[in-house]
Chain A
Amino acid sequence: GESVGLHLPTLSVQEGDNSIINCAYSNSASDYFIWYKQESGKGPQFIIDIRSNMDKRQGQRVTVLLNKTVKHLSLQIAATQPGDSAVYFCAERRPSGSRLTFGEGTQLTVNP
């Protein structure tokens, strides 16, 4: 399953499928990007990050892809599990300082 566009808030996938969550960022000079996972009633949890000098980074079952040409970031989750159900946020760090700017998030639901 794949989310597309800036404002698609939900993505529903079957257990075992691969998930792709997309994020469009706003500033072409942003140099650092992070994906967070937020489960219901909890704080955001770091998943994976990538710097602007890279276009791909892999973690355990997750891959982040960065396309600077179109200012697009994606999070790929392999073999999605029910425990992956959560809201996923991207964040960008703009070059003017240390602050992060967060997207609104995508709700991922994994169906057994």
Chain B
Amino acid sequence: NAGVTQTPKFQVLKTGQSMTLQCAQDMNHNSMYWYRQDPGMGLRLIYYSASEGTTDKGEVPNGYNVSRLNKREFSLRLESAAPSQTSVYFCASSGHSGRAADTQYFGPGTRLTVL
């Protein structure tokens, strides 16, 4: 039982390049989330998926897109990377959807630098 896994662990991009961050969970959770973490700003929600087939914007969705590929996988795409997207990205999952979300479990993170 690996929990939440993320790939890649590290990535360096040039401005304007695109990439997809992958996330998978093996806990049979309904809900999945993407956060970014910046110094002094805590964790900020980018997008979330309350259940398979649904996605919703979080606090900072601009410049990102997501795909809930199936119940296990939730990917985050940067279409045209900008230096402001340099951050650490965390994926998380929780066991319930809608209002009854329980504890969120986090992956190890992807450290992204955009030059």
Contacts and interface: CB of A to CB of B under 8 A. Distances in A.
A106 to B, nearest CB: 11
A5 interface: no
B43 interface: yes
B107 A43 contact: yes
Contacts of B50: 98
Interface in B28-54: 31, 40-43, 45, 48, 50
Interface residues of B, number: 25
A58 to B, nearest CB: 17
B83 interface: no
A34 interface: yes
B90 to A, nearest CB: 5
B61 to A, nearest CB: 13
Given A44-B106, A45-B106, A46-B105, A99 B58 contact: yes
A95 B101 CA distance: 11
Given A98-B94, A98-B96, A46 B103 contact: yes
Nearest to A42: B108
B31 A98 contact: yes
B106 A43 contact: yes
A49 B102 CA distance: 10
B42 A93 contact: no
A59 interface: no
A56 B105 CA distance: 22
A97 interface: yes
A99 B45 CA distance: 8
Given A42-B108, A43-B90, A102 B103 contact: no
A28 B106 CA distance: 26
- Closest 3 pairs between A and B when the two form their complex, measured CB to CB: A98-B101, A43-B106, A102-B43
